[in-house]
Chains A and B, each alone.
Chain A
Amino acid sequence: MTKLKLYSWLAGINLFISAFTFGGGYVVVPMIRKYYVEKKALFTNDELMEMAAVAQSSPGAIAINLSVLAGKKVAGMLGVLISAICSIIPPLVILGLISNWYAAFAANQTIMAILKGMQACVTALIIDIVIDMYQLIREERSSLLNALVPLAFIANVFFNLNVIYILFISIGICLVHTYAQQRKEV
């Protein structure tokens, strides 16, 4: 792919993905996988997971953070700029257009019905990628990492533990574990 072609592909794909980011941003992860990993093979599933982890651990919207990281990976700093700009254009334009008559928009039955259908699909997309990602984690063959996935889930859903604590605690556990293993080997 020539440089120019890569840049315009990046711009187009970010506009496209962003225009379909319904339901809170996580759906960007399966979208990036489809276009960057499966269609173009620009990076691997494992690298995608690293990026998703970093995007998740940083402040701000995971959707934007992830698009920017993917842009950086495939096209450097210019890729970052293109991805950032193109992923905020669709929400800017759409909200700009409807901000004046949003009350009518929110009460529209047809729009509600379409969105409800899309929401069921977004749910399926997220569950689908969670299954695949969990399989990747299992391939590491580490019972500690295996256990972290359900633990983080339970801590977040049932104990409402703040994301930042969950991330710090799991880093802490893994560091202690690595340290203990090192000691054993020495």
Chain B
Amino acid sequence: MQLFWTFLKIGLFSIGGGYAIIPLIQEQVVHQQGWLSEKVFADIITISQMTPGPIAVNTSTFVGMQINGVLGAVVATIGCILGGCVISISLYQFFQQHQESIYVAAALKSLKASSVGLIMSAGFTILLLTFFGTSELSSGLLAHFDWQSALLFGVALVILRKFKPNPIVLMCLAGFIGFLIY
């Protein structure tokens, strides 16, 4: 039950997604509940980046698993996604129902525009990570330029723009090339 509440809270307060919410999870799971040590938490973040699925979901699964086995994992994960699902559905319904209102329409348009900007910044962060192996902006950045990854990225982007292939096939292909070159 404690697991469920903690992850419901994490889910509810993690606006922005991705890497931004790591400190929040850390605060709850490591400092407040003491379920994991700093070391194990750092490992989980590494694992979460390596396995599919959103980081919050992965962390909740992992923590739940460590504490209470499969049941714990399921409970923690459901807690984690419940708030977001309910809120996003209600918010979407609200926008649908009030489409005629010019103010609601304006609000939705502004959200669309700024969320494109935010997806752009997520793209920028992962671009830095791909090109330089770090997402921190610093002066020594260029020294770590990884031309192989940059090339792979460039080729993948050109293929995407030109041929619109199946993204999953392209990802498998890129994984295979990674296996060959790194």
Contacts and interface: CB of A to CB of B under 8 A. Distances in A.
B129 interface: yes
B17 A148 contact: no
B152 A120 contact: yes
Contact of A65 (B20, B78, B84, B124): B84
B119 A91 contact: no
Contacts of A61: 14, 17, 54-57, 80-81, 84
A96 B115 CA distance: 33
Interface string B150-182: 001110110011001011101101111111011
B54 A52 contact: no
B114 A149 contact: yes
Nearest to A151: B117
Contact of B95 (A54, A102, A116): A54
Interface string B109-128: 11111111111111111110
A167 interface: yes
B149 interface: yes
Interface string B55-95: 11110011001100010011001101101110111011001
Nearest to B85: A68
Nearest to A24: B18
B53 A96 contact: no
Q: Looking at chain B's contact residues, is the secondary structure mostly helix, strand, loop, or mixed?
A: helix
B63 to A, nearest CB: 10
Most buried by A among B114, B123, B160: B114
Nearest to B13: A59
B15 interface: yes
A111 B84 contact: no
Contacts of A126: 119, 122-123, 126
A133 B119 contact: yes
Interface residues of B, number: 93
A118 B178 CA distance: 7
Given A34-B166, A92-B73, A121-B152, A59 B116 contact: no
Contacts of A145: 109-110, 112-113
Interface string A1-30: 000000000000000101111111111011
Contacts of A63: 17, 53-54, 57
Contacts of B83: 59-60
Given A50-B108, A52-B115, A118-B171, 10 more contacts: A24-B19, A25-B55, A53-B115, A95-B58, A106-B50, A115-B175, A120-B174, A120-B178, A121-B170, A174-B110
Interface of B: 11-20, 43-44, 46-47, 49-58, 61-62, 65-66, 70, 73-74, 77-78, 80-81, 83-85, 87-89, 91-92, 95, 102-103, 106-127, 129-130, 149, 152-154, 156-157, 160-161, 164, 166-168, 170-171, 173-179, 181-182
22 contacts: A19-B52, A25-B18, A25-B55, A26-B17, A26-B18, A38-B164, A54-B111, A55-B88, A59-B13, A60-B83, A60-B84, A61-B14, A72-B92, A91-B58, A120-B178, A121-B173, A122-B126, A123-B130, A127-B127, A149-B120, A156-B121, A170-B114
Interface of A: 16, 18-27, 29-31, 34, 38, 49-65, 68-69, 72, 80, 84, 88, 90-92, 94-96, 98-99, 102-103, 105-106, 110-131, 133-134, 137, 140, 142, 145-146, 148-153, 155-157, 162-164, 166-167, 170-171, 173-175, 177-179, 182
